[in-house]
C-alpha cells in the first residue's frame, strides 16, 4: 500500500495533481471536497448541513468529515493499492483521527506532499475557476475567508506530519506538468 496526502491551501492544485497521480500510481482518490459536493448535489441531510459551511468558506465540522472518511476506508481499504487523500486532513483533530483509523487497519501515511503557492496566484486561479465552473465558493469574499481559515486552522497540520518526518515541501507554482514531475520525484523516493 502507498498512502499519500496532498496538502496545501485552497487552489494550490491538490485536485488537479491528484487526478494525474491516481493514474500514474494506480491509487484511489479520496477528496473530501468532492465527497461533500456530491452530498450537496444529492440534497442529503449531510449535504444540506455541509452546504451552510461550504458556501461561506468555513470548515465543515470535524465529526462529519471524519465519519465520511471512515466509511470510505471501511469499504475501500482491502480493494486498492493505496489512497491519495486530497483536502483531508484539514485540522489537527482530523489528522489524529486519520492516523488512528489507518493504524486500526495496519496502515499508515507514507508521505505528505505540501504544495506551496502564493496568495496572489491562488486568488487568480480561483477567480478563473469561478468563470470556468461557477463554483459557489469561488467568489472574492469567500476565497479570502478560505485563505484565512487555511492559515488559522489547517496550516498547522503540516507540523503534525513534519514531527513524523513525513512532510515534503513542493513548489506549487509553474506548469501543471512540472509540478506533477516534482511530486513524482518525491513519491519515487519513498521505499515501500
Our finding on whether 72 is near ligand B4P (CB under 6 A) is no
Our finding on whether 39 is near ligand B4P (CB under 6 A) is no
CB 31 within 8 A of CB 15: yes
Our finding on whether 161 is near ligand B4P (CB under 6 A) is no
Our finding on whether 129 is near ligand B4P (CB under 6 A) is yes
Q: Is the dihedral of CA 109, 13, 93, 159 positive or negative?
A: positive
Nearer to ligand B4P, 143 or 168 (CB): 143
CB 16 within 8 A of CB 176: yes
Please provide residue 137's backbone torsions phi and psi, each rounded to the nearest 5 degrees: -95, 10
User: Of 57, 77, 98, 114, which one interacts with ligand B4P (CB under 6 A)?
Assistant: 57
Give the CB-side neighbour count of residue 11, counting CA atoms within 13 A: 27
User: Of 3, 7, 14, 187, which one interacts with ligand B4P (CB under 6 A)?
Assistant: 14
Of the candidate spans 10-18, 22-30, 72-80, 104-112, the one that interacts with ligand B4P by CB under 6 A turns out to be 10-18
Q: Strand order in 4-7's β-sheet?
A: 28-31, 83-86, 4-7, 111-116, 167-171
Binding site for ligand B4P (CB under 6 A): 10-16, 32-33, 36, 53-54, 57, 59-60, 65, 87-88, 90, 94, 125, 129, 137, 146, 176, 179
Amino acid at each position: 500500500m502507498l498512502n499519500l496526502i496532498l496538502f496545501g491551501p485552497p487552489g494550490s492544485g491538490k485536485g488537479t495533481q491528484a487526478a494525474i497521480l491516481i493514474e500514474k500510481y494506480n491509487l484511489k482518490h479520496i477528496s473530501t471536497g468532492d465527497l461533500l459536493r456530491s452530498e450537496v448535489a444529492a440534497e442529503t441531510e449531510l449535504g444540506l448541513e455541509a452546504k451552510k459551511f461550504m458556501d461561506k468558506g468555513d470548515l465543515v465540522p470535524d465529526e462529519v468529515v471524519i465519519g465520511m472518511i471512515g466509511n470510505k476506508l471501511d469499504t475501500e481499504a482491502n480493494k486498492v493499492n493505496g489512497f491519495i487523500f486530497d483536502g483531508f486532513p484539514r485540522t489537527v483533530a482530523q489528522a489524529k483521527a486519520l492516523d488512528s483509523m489507518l493504524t486500526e487497519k495496519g496502515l499508515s501515511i507514507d508521505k505528505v506532499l505540501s504544495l506551496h503557492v502564493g496568495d496572489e496566484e491562488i486568488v487568480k486561479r480561483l477567480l478563473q475557476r469561478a468563470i470556468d465552473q461557477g463554483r459557489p465558493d469561488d467568489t472574492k469574499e469567500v476565497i479570502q475567508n478560505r485563505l484565512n481559515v487555511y492559515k488559522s486552522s489547517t496550516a498547522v497540520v503540516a507540523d503534525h506530519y513534519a514531527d513524523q518526518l513525513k512532510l515534503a515541501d513542493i513548489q506549487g507554482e509553474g506548469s501543471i506538468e512540472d509540478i506533477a514531475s516534482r511530486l513524482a520525484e518525491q513519491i519515487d523516493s519513498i521505499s515501500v
